[in-house]
Amino acid sequence: MVQMAITPFYEQLGLPLVKQKVQVLQVNLGKRCNLACSHCHVEASPKRTEEISPDVCQDLIKLMYQFPQIKIVDLTGGAPEMNYGFKSLVEAATATHKQVIVRSNLTIFFAEGFTDIPDFLAEHHVHIVASLPCYLADNVDKMRGHGVFDQSIRALQWLNSLGYGKDENLILDLVYNPQLPKDDNFSLTPNQKNLQLAYKNFLAANFNIVFNHLLTITNLPVGRTKLYLERHHLYDQYLQFLASHFNPDTVDNLMCRQEISVDYLGNVYDCDFNQMMNLPAKTHNGETLTIRKLLEFDSLDLIQEVQTADYCYGCTAGCGSSCGGALV
Ligand code: SF4
Ligand code: SF4
């Protein structure tokens, strides 16, 4: 099949993607994870060893104290709970009155050395965003590994027993990711509201589980998803599919406009996808940033324009996609 070239994302936008005042600090603590999911854009696994250092951890804590404008600290990985500095960062974010989000794979709660994590999260009122790419066991186990669905269900029941999903201070959100495509019959993520209702009904009826919101997240062609698509000769078609569903209404709400994303070395990006694709955030004169520089310049707002690439079409297709789910 002859491929049509897609319009570069920046051309589609027409105008630069202007950065707004930074209010979200997302930290990718490292690539260590107890799972190795097929769609993982971080390419995390139990074999990876890269993680945050004590120096970077200290700088992040200083950043939280120095900048009250940071309202949300969003911890991700890998399994953030497994990487150095996790508890110190949660404690610092709580002490500085930020909302703390942890992106958890749930199964980590059963790994040796981490069984205290659910109590720790509840004690600090951490908002949990947990992956559950489907409410059917087969689909989850195919993407994430044998037995992951059962462990996820037990973890959700455990969180419910601590008040998660019930107490207004203990928010439990779930994340839906589509299955990776087997052929070029692609589809957009389903309507978030309708799918949330289906998840709620199924999990309540079958497992007595409650949760707050379902977030639908598109698979961006980055990391393991990109490798998968390339292996199946679907990469170009998938990009074209996303580009053909460009929705300009999503642009105002793109998560990269109000956040910085920091890697385990302390480098600054506009989002986690750019981080994985090694596309650093830049100042107006092209300088890259680290958290050490942000501390020295005493400003979080040194980025005028978000760096974009063609995979950004994943965030603007249909209802849009972000770490907080659909955008419109
Ligand atoms: S998707 Fe999440 S749980 Fe799965 S390997 Fe990647 S970081 Fe780990
Ligand atoms: S991948 Fe999405 S969040 Fe990241 S820069 Fe592109 S549009 Fe923004």
Query: 80-121, pLDDT tens digit by residue?
Result: 999 999 999 999 999 999 999 999 999 999 999 999 999 999
Distance 283 CA to ligand 1 centre (A): 31
**Is the model's pLDDT at 2 over the cut of 80?**
no
**Is the model's pLDDT at 222 over the cut of 60?**
yes
Reading phi first (left if > 0) and then psi (alpha if -120 to 50, else beta), residue 86 is in alpha
Q: Let me know: does 28 contact 78? Beta carbons within 8 Å.
A: yes
pLDDT confidence of residue 157: 98
pTM of the model: 0.96
**Is the model's pLDDT at 1 over the cut of 70?**
no
pLDDT confidence of residue 3: 58
9-316: CATH architecture: Alpha-Beta Barrel (3.20)
Which atom in ligand 2 lies closest to the alpha carbon of residue 257? 8
**What proportion of the chain, given as a percentage, has pLDDT over 70?**
99
Q: What is the mean pLDDT of the chain?
A: 96
Query: 239-288, pLDDT tens digit by residue?
Result: 999 999 999 999 999 999 999 999 999 999 999 999 999 999 999 999 99
Query: 140-171, pLDDT tens digit by residue?
Result: 998 899 999 999 999 999 999 999 999 999 99
How far is residue 121's CA from residue 259's CA, in Å, rounded to a whole number?
23
Q: Which of 254, 272, 311, 319 to mutate to test the pocket of ligand 2 (most atoms within 8 A of CB)?
A: 254
Distance of CA 24 to the CA centre of its chain: 13
Distance 115 CA to ligand 1 centre (A): 18
Q: Let me know: does 77 contact 83? Beta carbons within 8 Å.
A: yes
Structural domain boundaries in the chain = 9-316
Distance 251 CA to ligand 2 centre (A): 10
How far is residue 53's CA from residue 89's CA, in Å, rounded to a whole number?
12
How far is residue 325's CA from residue 211's CA, in Å, rounded to a whole number?
15
Provide the Cα torsion 224, 226, 231, 234; round to 10°. 140
